């Protein structure tokens, strides 16, 4: 296989694992785009040759591809980054570039006690459910800084305790929304079962909010913590992106290798 010049839309743990895999097994030059400096740092540590650490508009991605000699566009963004995945599909068609969507698989919960899970269709809907059905106790928000505002349309800030990355962008969002410093849980990486239980007890939580982000996002540990502490877990369903062709989606490194071989 020839040397591949790759534009990788990243910022997730999946993307850093993919960068490592590419660098060990293939001759590649990788430019990774992320929305944060922290994501850029992790991509460089994983082996990315270059990074861009800010959100890119559709026209900017098109210009980047047209001005460079990329062979492949990989979208390894979060399953809930619906807009960027829609954009990446569109860009791949416009620029006529080979495309792979690397997406962590959904969780199979058949063997788990799901009695404490309440499914919501959106973060605003999650706030509505809490307001109507869980009026007492505090709310642990384990779904990132970008989703806080929609929840707070129906949940008071006095009850709200978000777990966010300890990076300036997240701290600024908390400040903008008027969230008290004592309510902000700044952590890195997915929490363990014990850490989740400790947070439930420390903040007297009656409900947690999470995305259906797959095993790598620590969802199993949140389900087990909710079960052990007998509290509700509101889970936002993963969006279905109609623009995606199933043939372009891979969910593990073996599938990725086979897809890459079929393309090149």
pLDDT in tens, 14-25: 999 999 999 999
Q: What is the mean pLDDT of residues 72-91?
A: 93
Predicted local distance difference test score (pLDDT) of residue 185: 95
Predicted local distance difference test score (pLDDT) of residue 169: 85
What pTM, to 2 d.p., does this model score?
0.76
Q: Give 252's pLDDT tier (boundaries 50, 70, 90).
A: very high
Alpha-carbon gap, residue 207 to 55, rounded angstroms: 32
Please name each of the domains of the chain with its CATH number: 4-105+240-263 (3.40.50.720), 117-236 (3.40.50.720)
Q: What is the mean pLDDT of residues 235-256?
A: 91
Predicted local distance difference test score (pLDDT) of residue 217: 66
Cα Rg for the chain, rounded, in angstroms? 19
- CB atoms near residue 99 (< 10 Å): 20
Helix (H, G, I), strand (E, B) or coil at 243: coil
Alpha-carbon gap, residue 226 to 208, rounded angstroms: 8
Q: What is the mean pLDDT of residues 162-166?
A: 90
Q: What is the mean pLDDT of residues 234-244?
A: 88
On average, the pLDDT of the chain sits at 93
pLDDT of 173 higher than 80? yes
Predicted local distance difference test score (pLDDT) of residue 188: 75
pLDDT of 2 higher than 90? no
pLDDT of 238 higher than 70? yes
Q: Give 81's pLDDT tier (boundaries 50, 70, 90).
A: confident
Check: CB of residue 211 under 8 Å from CB of residue 236.
yes
Predicted local distance difference test score (pLDDT) of residue 165: 85
pLDDT of 139 higher than 90? yes
């Amino acid at each position: 296989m020839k040397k591949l010049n790759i534009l990788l839309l990243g910022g997730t743990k999946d993307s850093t694992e993919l960068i490592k895999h590419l660098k060990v097994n293939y001759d590649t030059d990788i430019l990774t785009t992320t929305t944060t400096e922290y994501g850029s740092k992790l991509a460089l540590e994983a082996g990315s040759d270059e990074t861009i650490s800010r959100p890119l508009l559709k026209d900017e991605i098109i210009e980047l591809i047209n001005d460079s000699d990329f062979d492949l566009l990989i979208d390894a963004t979060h399953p809930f980054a619906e807009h960027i995945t829609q954009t990446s599909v569109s860009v791949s068609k416009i620029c006529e570039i080979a495309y792979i969507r690397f997406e962590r698989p959904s969780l199979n919960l058949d063997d788990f006690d799901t009695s404490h899970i309440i499914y919501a269709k959106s973060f605003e809907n999650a706030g509505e459910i809490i307001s109507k059905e869980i009026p007492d106790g505090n709310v642990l928000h384990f779904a990132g800084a970008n989703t806080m505002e929609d929840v707070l349309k129906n949940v008071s800030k006095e009850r709200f305790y978000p777990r966010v990355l300890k990076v300036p962008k997240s701290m600024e969002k908390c400040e903008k929304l008027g969230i008290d410093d004592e309510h902000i849980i700044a952590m890195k990486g997915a929490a363990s079962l014990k850490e989740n239980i400790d947070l439930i007890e420390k903040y007297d939580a009656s409900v947690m909010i999470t995305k259906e982000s797959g095993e790598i996002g620590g969802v199993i540990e949140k389900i087990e913590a909710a079960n052990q502490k007998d509290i509700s877990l509101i889970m936002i369903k993963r969006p279905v992106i109609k623009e995606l062709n199933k043939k372009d989606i891979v969910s593990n490194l073996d599938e990725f290798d086979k897809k890459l071989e079929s393309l090149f």
